[in-house]
Amino acid sequence: ADAERVSARIVTALGVAVAAAGSAALLAVLASGSLGPGALAQLGPEPGPVALAIGIEVGVGAGILLLSPRRRARDDGATEAVPTALLEPSVD
């Protein structure tokens, strides 16, 4: 059961990274173009490296966020690690 939760989080982190990389690549394609003849015929970012950089950065961040344990206080005052998916939002 615990391995299923971890694998679901890994798939979610990878999905977020792929979506961010695809969006960044699309924006890079839309931002590139021509500004004139000669050296200015191709101007703008390369979609591949931009997508790779954004995908890695977002993937690492999402992985840290989704896979790190959370702590909450138990009724007896001790703390225990609780998976993020089991946490309920606190109402103050």
Question: Average pLDDT of each block of 10 consecutive residues along the chain (92 residues)?
Answer: 81 95 96 85 92 97 87 62 62 60
Cβ neighbours of 12 (radius 10 Å): 16
Full domain range(s) for residue 27? 2-69+78-86
Rounded to whole angstroms, what are the CA distances from 8 to 16, 27, 66, 70, 73?
12, 29, 10, 17, 25
Q: How many domains does the chain divide into?
A: 1
Is residue 44, in this structure, part of any structural domain at all?
A: yes
Q: Which of 22, 33, 20 is nearest to 61 (CA)?
A: 20
Whole-prediction pTM: 0.68
Residue 91 within a domain: no
- Note whether residue 31 is domain-resident: yes
- The answer to the question of residue 63 being in a domain is yes
Residue 13 lies in a domain: yes
Three-state DSSP class for residue 52: helix
